[in-house]
Amino acid sequence: MIACPAGGKETAHQIVNTGAEELRYLAVSTKLSPELVEYPDSGKFGVLAELPASAEGKPQRFMFIGRESQCLGYWDGE
Protein backbone atom coordinates (compact mmCIF):
# COMPACT_ATOMS: atom_id res chain seq x y z
CA MET A 1 0.00 0.00 0.00
CA ILE A 2 1.29 3.46 -0.94
CA ALA A 3 -0.15 6.78 0.23
CA CYS A 4 0.38 9.72 -2.11
CA PRO A 5 -0.71 12.86 -0.25
CA ALA A 6 -1.30 16.15 -2.02
CA GLY A 7 1.38 18.80 -1.63
CA GLY A 8 4.18 20.63 -3.36
CA LYS A 9 7.41 19.40 -4.92
CA GLU A 10 8.45 17.88 -1.59
CA THR A 11 5.60 15.33 -1.82
CA ALA A 12 5.70 14.64 -5.58
CA HIS A 13 5.32 10.95 -6.36
CA GLN A 14 5.47 8.44 -9.18
CA ILE A 15 5.41 4.67 -9.53
CA VAL A 16 8.45 3.15 -11.26
CA ASN A 17 8.83 -0.53 -12.06
CA THR A 18 12.44 -1.46 -11.29
CA GLY A 19 11.84 -5.19 -11.74
CA ALA A 20 11.97 -7.45 -14.75
CA GLU A 21 8.29 -8.47 -14.53
CA GLU A 22 5.31 -6.41 -15.69
CA LEU A 23 4.02 -4.13 -12.93
CA ARG A 24 0.28 -4.08 -12.25
CA TYR A 25 -1.33 -1.86 -9.64
CA LEU A 26 -4.73 -0.70 -8.50
CA ALA A 27 -5.11 3.03 -7.87
CA VAL A 28 -7.91 4.30 -5.65
CA SER A 29 -8.75 7.99 -5.44
CA THR A 30 -11.20 10.30 -3.72
CA LYS A 31 -11.73 11.96 -7.12
CA LEU A 32 -12.47 15.40 -5.74
CA SER A 33 -13.40 18.10 -8.24
CA PRO A 34 -11.76 20.31 -9.21
CA GLU A 35 -8.49 18.40 -9.25
CA LEU A 36 -5.25 20.40 -9.45
CA VAL A 37 -1.95 18.67 -10.17
CA GLU A 38 1.62 19.84 -10.57
CA TYR A 39 4.28 18.12 -12.70
CA PRO A 40 7.53 19.44 -11.16
CA ASP A 41 9.86 17.65 -13.61
CA SER A 42 8.35 19.46 -16.62
CA GLY A 43 7.09 22.65 -14.98
CA LYS A 44 3.49 21.90 -15.98
CA PHE A 45 0.25 21.93 -14.05
CA GLY A 46 -3.17 20.49 -14.76
CA VAL A 47 -6.76 21.36 -13.86
CA LEU A 48 -9.66 18.92 -14.21
CA ALA A 49 -13.22 19.77 -13.17
CA GLU A 50 -16.16 17.41 -13.52
CA LEU A 51 -19.28 19.40 -14.45
CA PRO A 52 -22.99 18.58 -14.28
CA ALA A 53 -24.36 16.62 -17.26
CA SER A 54 -25.54 18.57 -20.29
CA ALA A 55 -29.24 18.95 -21.12
CA GLU A 56 -28.83 15.80 -23.26
CA GLY A 57 -27.44 13.90 -20.25
CA LYS A 58 -23.86 13.77 -21.56
CA PRO A 59 -21.07 14.09 -18.97
CA GLN A 60 -19.07 17.31 -19.20
CA ARG A 61 -15.69 18.35 -17.92
CA PHE A 62 -13.11 21.11 -18.13
CA MET A 63 -9.46 20.12 -18.55
CA PHE A 64 -6.36 22.26 -19.01
CA ILE A 65 -2.67 21.37 -18.91
CA GLY A 66 -0.14 24.15 -19.27
CA ARG A 67 2.74 26.09 -17.80
CA GLU A 68 2.67 29.23 -15.66
CA SER A 69 4.48 31.11 -18.45
CA GLN A 70 1.32 30.66 -20.59
CA CYS A 71 -0.80 32.60 -18.09
CA LEU A 72 -2.70 35.62 -19.40
CA GLY A 73 -3.70 38.66 -17.39
CA TYR A 74 -7.37 39.03 -16.44
CA TRP A 75 -7.89 41.96 -18.82
CA ASP A 76 -5.86 40.51 -21.74
CA GLY A 77 -7.87 40.97 -24.95
CA GLU A 78 -10.72 42.87 -23.26
pLDDT tens-place values along the chain, 78 residues long? 777 777 777 777 788 899 999 999 888 877 778 888 888 889 899 999 999 999 999 989 999 999 988 888 889 999
Question: Cα–Cα distance between 74 and 70 in angstroms, integer?
Answer: 13
Q: What is the pLDDT of residue 17?
A: 94
Q: What is the pLDDT of residue 58?
A: 93
Dihedral angle, C-alpha 66, 36, 34, 61, nearest 10 °: 30
